[in-house]
Every structure is written in structure tokens, then in C-alpha cells.
Amino acid sequence: MEGTAVLFVLMNIWTTSLALECRVVSGSLKQIDAGNGQVFGTNSKDEIFTLYSGAWAQIPGSLKHVSVGPAGVWGVNSGNYIFRLQGGDWVPVNGLLKQVDAGGVSSPAGANMFDDIYCLPGGQGGSWTNIPGKLKHYSCGPNSCWGVNAGNLIFIMKGVTSTNCAGSLKWEQVSGFLSMIEVSTDGNVHGVNSNGDIFVREGISLSNPTGTGWRQIQFWQKVKHVSYDLGHLWLIGTDNSIMDCTE
């Protein structure tokens, strides 16, 4: 990423029912993840960055995907090896994943190169738990986990708790098609489809973790990655541009 300053450019994106107020953040990222008040991302060179005091700070190491949340800071490299950030160092963790998510209460989860799904109980040592099914992208929140498969179909796993990262083991298909999906620390669910359109799941509650339906968030640019935390919707454009938006 060139430079460390964050450039704030204010834009108002209006539709008949929605206003997004966005700032374009300097630099370039291919993937971003926000959780627990922190923001991490990786660029096209697999360099790792975190947002610190309004500026990007590079973290030593090389990862293709990074995630931050209640389970800590996790990442996977180009060889699909798994790492956890501890004391400023990337500590290797057993197993292989192509994508990892730290949004669960205490357990990271993710999908491997064969679209097999796993979670690590407690987020510490031990063996990864294989969850039946096939998903290319998997993301967890406080009460449920969501994923999309190779056909962009959407699924939810309920019954996820701090002591049971695998949940009910009963997949429920959710209407719609998404190419990636992210569950935030507070349980909000956002996703992007293959056309680069952004969606948010409405009506999610403790009693109804599936919610009531998808609402498209109108935006002037096509995006490929989305993450949400503390009222901020972080977007990565198809050109790797970075945007921080609020509704």
C-alpha cells in the first residue's frame, strides 16, 4: 500500500430510500475485514495492513486473507497455511484453509481448498471440527454462521454457541445468490453477488436469526468484498479501492 495517510473524500450516494455517506480511503486492498473495532486487510501482494490511529500500518508477514473478531486475528497464506496473531507475531496453527473467519464468539471457522468447512472449538490448540457440507466462503457471528457454495447459493447454520462452534449441523438454505458473505460481530449480515452488488439481510434477531429478506444497498461502484462493524460498512471495489461508508 502506497503511503500511510488516509484520504477522506466525502461522497453522498442517494437513492429514493437510501443514503450512503462514504469516504474513499487511500491505498489498495483486495480483501478487508472489520470486527471488534479493528480493521485489517491484504493487498494484491499479500501484504497485511491494519488501520491504526487513522492510518494504515503494515504488519510483517504475507497472507492472502485475514480476519479479525472475537476469536482474535487470523489469516491464511498462499499455501493455505493458517496463522494467528499473538504478541505481534504470526503463530502457525495446524490445518489448511483457503479462507478463515474470526467472527465467532470464540472459535474461528473457514473453508479449505476443497470447500470443506471447519471450525476450531475455543480457538486454541486441538483439532478442527469438520462440518458436513461444501462452501466456498463461511462466516460466523454471535448466534449463527452463514456461507455460500460454488453455485452462489446461500446457507445458514443455527445453534452456534461459545461451546458448540459447529452449531445444529442442519443447513437451511436462504433465498438469493451471493458470491461472498460476511457476518459482523453484532450479527449483521452483508454480502456481494457476482455482479458486484451489495446486499444486507434485514429482520435478523435472536429469535429470528435468518431474518426476513435481502435489501440491496444502491452504490455507484461495483464491489467485490464487504465487511461491517460498529456502523461502518467497509467496501473493496473491483479496482481494489477502499471505501468506508455509513447509512
* Residue 173 to residue 28: CA distance in whole angstroms: 34
Mean pLDDT, the chain, rounded, equals: 91
As a whole number, mean pLDDT of residues 51-73 equals 95
In this model, does residue 13 exceed pLDDT 60? no
Q: Enumerate domains of the chain plus CATH numbers.
A: 10-246 (2.130.10.30)
Residue-wise DSSP of 70-135: TTEEEEE-TT-EEEEEETTEEEEEEEE-SEEE--SSS--EEE-TT--EEE-GGGSSSPPEEESS--
* Residue 88 to residue 234: CA distance in whole angstroms: 24
As a whole number, mean pLDDT of residues 74-82 equals 98
As a whole number, mean pLDDT of residues 63-76 equals 96
> Per mean pLDDT, which range of 15-19, 170-174, 216-220, 231-235 is the poorest?
15-19
pLDDT in tens, 135-157: 999 999 988 999 999 999 999 99
Residue type at position 180:
M
In this model, does residue 225 exceed pLDDT 80? yes
pLDDT in tens, 89-119: 999 999 999 999 998 878 999 999 999 999 9
Say what the pLDDT of residue 150 is.
98
Confidence of residue 15 (pLDDT cuts 50, 70, 90): very low
Residue type at position 230:
L
* Residue 83 to residue 66: CA distance in whole angstroms: 9
86 neighbors 73 (Cβ within 8 angstroms): no
pLDDT in tens, 160-218: 998 899 999 999 999 999 999 999 999 999 999 999 999 999 999 999 999 999 999 99
Statement: the pTM of the whole predicted model exceeds 0.85: yes
